Amino acid sequence: MIEVQGLVKTYGSKRAVDGVSFRVNRGEILGFLGPNGAGKSTTMKMITGFLRPDAGTAVVDGHDVTREPLAVKRTIGYLPESAPAYGEMTAEEFLSFIAEARGFRRRPERLAVVNRAIGLTHLESVRTQTIETLSKGYKQRVGFAQALLHDPSVLVLDEPTDGLDPNQKNEVRALIKNMATEKAVILSTHILEEVEAICTRVIIISRGQLVIDETPAQFQARQPGARLDEIFYELTRSDL
Ligand SMILES: Nc1ncnc2c1ncn2[C@@H]1O[C@H](COP(=O)(O)OP(=O)(O)OP(=O)(O)O)[C@@H](O)[C@H]1O
């Protein structure tokens, strides 16, 4: 569903992403790890069509992101880092606005997709509250709801559980896991336990380059008995 080949992005003299290649199939949840500044968000922005690659390709559900950016955006639900939203809108108004932008023109169908997203992310109790007054966890859920709104076949989630309390983290993980059976999911995270809990594969990038691409079990087997953060440190310490 997602095929990334030799992606490169340079900011000024800095190669933020330096020839990254991987693929994600339907039913897979790919955990995307790396130290701060390794190039995770930049890679995600190129896959979702928000940044143009300097070289390489990203093909999503058969659509090349450079040649068919609109088709790719229709296929993808994207939760950017620190879920931006219009603070003065209520959760419901914001989701309705996104639904309209997503092409749900008629009010009843808009209401139906908004209600579905609100139900999936448990936003019922705050639906008429303005986003700027919501707690960090609820703001994050609004961002998650907009990513799910059009029931996309690909989800790209940049730190989806960031800022959530332990119960909310578990809830979001369960939701991702349930949905992933018929979707391809990429999620970036700094929480190594998240990889164990829900990911079917793990990728680590360091200084813009791929360091590993394997299953969580293979990752753990690199140093049996070691903590995941110790294995992560060994693989990425050149980045420090
Ligand atoms: N718009 C930009 N202009 C210049 N440099 C940038 C820009 N965006 C990112 N960078 C740099 O590119 C590198 C990769 O950044 P990126 O945000 O992709 O990393 P990341 O792995 O997502 O980090 P984090 O875990 O902190 O979110 C960093 O050195 C960052 O400072």
Any atom of ligand 1 within 6 Å of the Cβ of 41: yes
Q: Which two structure tokens, joined as six digits, stand for 47?
A: 């896959």
CA distance from start to end of the chain: 33
At 81-117, the pLDDT tens digits run 876 678 999 999 999 999 999 999 999 999 999 999 9
Tell me the per-residue pLDDT of 166-191, one tens digit each, with 9 for 90 and over: 888 888 888 888 888 889 999 999 88
What confidence tens digit (pLDDT) does each residue in 118-141 have? 998 889 999 999 999 998 888 888
Give the closest residue (by CA) to ligand 1 atom 7.
11
Domain ranges of the chain: 2-239
Atom 2 of ligand 1, nearest CA residue: 11
Percent of the chain with pLDDT over 90: 68
* Residue carrying structure tokens 């190129």: 46
**If you average pLDDT over residues 149-158, what whole number do you get?**
94
208 lines ligand 1 (CB under 6 A): no
- What pLDDT was estimated at residue 209? 95
pLDDT of residue 172: 85
Average pLDDT of every residue of the chain: 92
ipTM associated with this complex: 0.96
Q: What is the pLDDT of residue 226?
A: 85
CATH topology of domain 2-239: Rossmann fold (3.40.50)
Q: Please give the pLDDT value at position 240.
A: 65
Q: What is the 3-state secondary structure (H, E, C) of 86-151?
A: CCCCEHHHHHHHHHHHCCCCCHHHHHHHHHHHHHHCCCHHHCCCEHHHCCHHHHHHHHHHHHHCCC
> Residue 239 carries which side chain, given as an amino acid letter?
D
Q: Whose CA is nearest to atom 24 of ligand 1?
A: 36
Residue 13: CB within 6 Å of ligand 1?
Answer: no
Strands, sheet with 63-64, edge to edge from the N-terminal-most edge strand? 14-24, 2-11, 55-60, 63-64
Question: Can you give the pLDDT at residue 232?
Answer: 86
pLDDT for residue 73 is more than 80: yes
- Reported as a pLDDT band with limits 50, 70 and 90, residue 198 is very high
Inter-residue contact 192 to 228 (CB < 8 Å): yes
